[in-house]
Amino acid sequence: MQERPEMEKVHVELKMLDDGIEPPSYALPGDAGADLRTTVDVVLAPGERALVPTGIAIALPEGLVGLIHPRSGLAVRHGLSLVNSPGTIDAGYRGEIKVPLLNTDRNEAITLRRGDRIAQLVIQPVLQASFTPVEELSESVRGDGGFGSTGGFVTS
Ligand SMILES: O=c1ccn([C@H]2C[C@H](O)[C@@H](COP(=O)(O)OP(=O)(O)OP(=O)(O)O)O2)c(=O)[nH]1
Ligand SMILES: [Mg+2]
């Protein structure tokens, strides 16, 4: 079996804002998302949303972005999602990371307890563009086709 080189890790400053909460953690080696925890108990009625604190602040080096994704287990089992999925954590942001949770279930409330892992933070490189206004865009095969132009779905 081919040896996998150890995953490269970027150093990110972390400030814990709540002593009783565990820092973000990767559940398994090689995982992309570090799980974030809620510092508060919260009950979300069907269709309800709430901005939930995580008790952490970070300083990402410029050139990186933090993306907050839902956890698929909670999504599939309970319908828990994020209003703004994925949330964007800018490199310059030093405030507390908060997660706008949304209960998409039509019937059942979702109960979360302080310390529960509610979402995951994926850190990625990011590029800024220098936008150049032009009269005509360069040509491409796709052109202006979009929104299902390549087919592959059932029509009614
Ligand atoms: O799920 C999220 C999304 C954002 N933020 C924080 C970090 C981010 O850097 C900042 C701004 O987020 P965004 O740019 O998505 O929001 P905006 O509505 O454009 O606000 P702003 O005008 O402050 O950029 O809010 C969170 O804590 N959680
Ligand atoms: Mg913004």
CA of 101 to the centre of ligand 1 (A): 14
pTM for the model? 0.94
CA atoms within a 13 Å half-sphere pointing along the CA-CB vector of 64: 15
> Digits of tens for pLDDT over the chain (156 positions)?
677 778 889 999 999 999 999 999 999 999 999 999 999 999 999 999 999 999 999 999 999 999 999 999 999 999 999 999 999 999 999 999 999 999 999 999 999 999 999 999 999 999 999 999 999 999 999 999 999 999 988 766
Predicted complex: ipTM over 0.90:
yes
Among the bound ligands, name the one nearest to the CA of residue 98: 1
Q: What is the pLDDT of residue 141?
A: 98
* For the CA of 49, the nearest ligand: 1
Give the CA distances from residue 62 to residues 90, 91, 122, 139, in Å, rounded to whole numbers and listed in that order: 9, 5, 15, 33
Q: What residue spans define the domains of the chain?
A: 14-125
Q: Which of 98, 119, 95, 110 is nearest to 41 (CA)?
A: 110
CATH code: domain 14-125 is 2.70.40.10
CA of 113 to the centre of ligand 1 (A): 24
Instruction: Specify the residue with its C-alpha closest to ligand 1, atom 14.
Output: 88
Tell me which residue has its CA closest to atom 6 in ligand 1: 89
Secondary structure element (H or E) that encloses residue 13, with its range: strand 13-16
How many residues does the structure list for the chain? 156
Q: With residue 58 as reference, give the H or E element that holds it.
A: strand 56-59
| CB atoms closer than 10 angstroms to residue 39 | 18
